[in-house]
Amino acid sequence: MLVRRLLARLLDWLLVLVVAWPLVHEPVLVVLCAAVYDVLLLRLNTLGKALTGLRVVGPASGLSLRRALTRTLITTALPGAGVVLVLTGLGWREPALMAGLGWQQPWVVIGEHVAMGSAGWLASLLLVGGFVLLSLSVVEALDLRGTRTWHDRKAGTAVVRLKVAAR
């Protein structure tokens, strides 16, 4: 079940990346798109979960918006923020959307106005923070007990296999 869950998550992230990246070219907005995709389709079924034969279910009262948001913040926003921090810490930037809107990101301004040596600690801090968030996400995803990981227990949800209709 864990392999199916991870494969479903990977398929969902790849779908969002393939669709959103050409449109926005901004890691923060891609993570936001992934979170919106997850919240909107969690009540129905995401494409990754449908392809792997899984479904997220809530208690008898159903999967409320609050439960979907809680689950999405842990499963999508947390690792997404980690990836953005790692990319920023490594010095990777493509602020196409922000530059198009006339905005400057804080790390670009810091790099321009502060000596290179003093900006180095900020990059290291962002890199370490990103790896910490990614590590927490991995540990959290591997904490599988039956059909529930930690984020399922926190949100009051479970992931179940869909039964294939007999012909």
Domain boundaries, the chain: 2-161
Q: Which residue has the tokens 């798109």?
A: 33
pLDDT for 100 beyond 60: no
Q: Are 17 and 50 in contact (CB under 8 A)?
A: no
| Greater model confidence, 154 or 48 | 48
Residue ranges of alpha helices (H) inside the chain are 2-24, 27-42, 47-52, 65-72, 78-89, 96-100, 106-113, 116-142, 150-155
pLDDT per position as a tens digit, 20-65:
988 887 888 899 999 999 988 887 888 999 999 998 888 876 778 8
Residues 6+ positions from 69 with CB-CB distance below 8 Å? 39
Tell me the pTM. Answer: 0.74
Q: How long is the chain?
A: 167
- Within 13 A of 109's CA, how many CA atoms are on the CB side? 7
pLDDT per position as a tens digit, 106-132:
544 444 444 444 456 787 888 899 999
Q: Average pLDDT of 138-159?
A: 84
Q: Average pLDDT of 55-84?
A: 86
